[in-house]
């Protein structure tokens, strides 16, 4: 997926669900999220299911863009890409990991916090910069960033909820990375329905 295509897809569905050591089968979570309109799904590499799922199951979900998160080293980047990750997400700014992604033409969302890190990560080849921890920094931080960096795509990650999502979009976030709010507590119909309701509200927050 090229950068232009990635940004177009994110514009249409600007929520990235983060599955970190999920409590239920990854397939069940992916199916529930897709039905609610969430297309970008990040499975963190510290989850035992991550690489096996990327290798065997990720390709069978039409419309899903499934990637690997918490990619901290070039070795993990190589493993995730070989397994079939369609994008990578890092918790920090790592030029080496960005170079691996660029070499394989895989979109990457490098993590950053300060203006220097954000600019450096974008200059190094990051497609969308993951600003973390977003809720701690506050939505006003994103509004301030838009002054010097109007053209850098930013994904607010960390502490994003249904209640604050609209504030981050209004402040200039391109997308939201959402973890616990979009993780199934179990496989019951009630848990699935609650997850899907949150997903729809998060997506609707962009539309205001």
> Given the DSSP bridges, would you call strands 108-109 and 175-178 parallel, antiparallel or unpaired?
unpaired
The span from the CA of 201 to the CA of 197, in Å, is 6
In a domain, 64, yes or no: yes
Q: Are 1 and 65 in contact (CB under 8 A)?
A: yes
Question: Which strands form 111-112's sheet, in the order they lie side by side?
Answer: 108-109, 88-89, 65-69, 40-44, 15-19, 175-178, 154-157, 129-131, 111-112
In a domain, 89, yes or no: yes
Residue 208 has pLDDT above 70, yes or no: no
In a domain, 37, yes or no: yes
CATH code for the domain in which residue 91 is found: 3.20.20.70
Residue 108, H or E segment: strand 108-109
Point out the catalytic residue in the list 130, 144, 197, 201: 130
How many percent of the chain have pLDDT more than 90? Answer: 89
Domain count, the chain: 1
In a domain, 143, yes or no: no
In a domain, 9, yes or no: yes
Q: Output DSSP code: residue 58.
A: G
Point out the catalytic residue in the list 42, 62, 143, 144: 42
In a domain, 66, yes or no: yes
**130 is an active site residue:** yes
In a domain, 205, yes or no: no
**42 is an active site residue:** yes
Residue 207, H or E segment: helix 189-207
Which pLDDT tens digit goes with each residue over 146-202?
A: 999 999 999 999 999 999 999 999 999 999 999 999 999 999 999 999 999 999 999
Arithmetic mean of pLDDT, 73-81: 98
How many percent of the chain have pLDDT more than 70? Answer: 100
Domain with 21, as residue range(s), is 1-131+152-157+175-183
In a domain, 69, yes or no: yes
Residue 1 has pLDDT above 80, yes or no: no
Phi, psi of 184 (to 5 degrees): -65, 130
């Amino acid at each position: 997926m090229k950068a232009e295509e990635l940004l177009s897809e994110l514009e249409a569905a600007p929520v990235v669900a983060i599955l970190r050591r999920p409590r239920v089968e990854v397939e069940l979570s992916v199916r529930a999220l897709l039905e609610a309109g969430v297309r970008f799904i990040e499975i963190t590499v510290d989850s035992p299911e991550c690489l096996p799922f990327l290798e065997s199951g990720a390709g069978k979900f039409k419309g899903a863009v499934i990637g690997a998160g918490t990619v901290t080293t070039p070795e993990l980047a190589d493993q995730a890409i070989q397994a079939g990750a369609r994008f990578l997400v890092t918790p920090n700014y790592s030029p080496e990991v960005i170079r691996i992604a660029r070499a394989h033409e895989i979109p990457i969302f490098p993590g950053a916090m300060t203006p220097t890190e954000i600019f450096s990560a974008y200059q190094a080849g990051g497609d969308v910069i993951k600003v973390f921890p977003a809720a701690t920094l506050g939505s006003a931080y994103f509004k301030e960033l838009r002054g010097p960096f109007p053209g850098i795509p930013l994904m607010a990650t960390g502490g994003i909820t249904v209640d604050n999502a609209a504030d981050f979009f209004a402040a200039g976030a391109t997308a939201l990375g959402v973890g616990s709010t979009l993780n199934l507590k179990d496989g019951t119909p009630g848990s699935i329905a609650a997850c899907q309701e949150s997903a729809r509200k998060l997506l609707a927050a962009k539309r205001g």
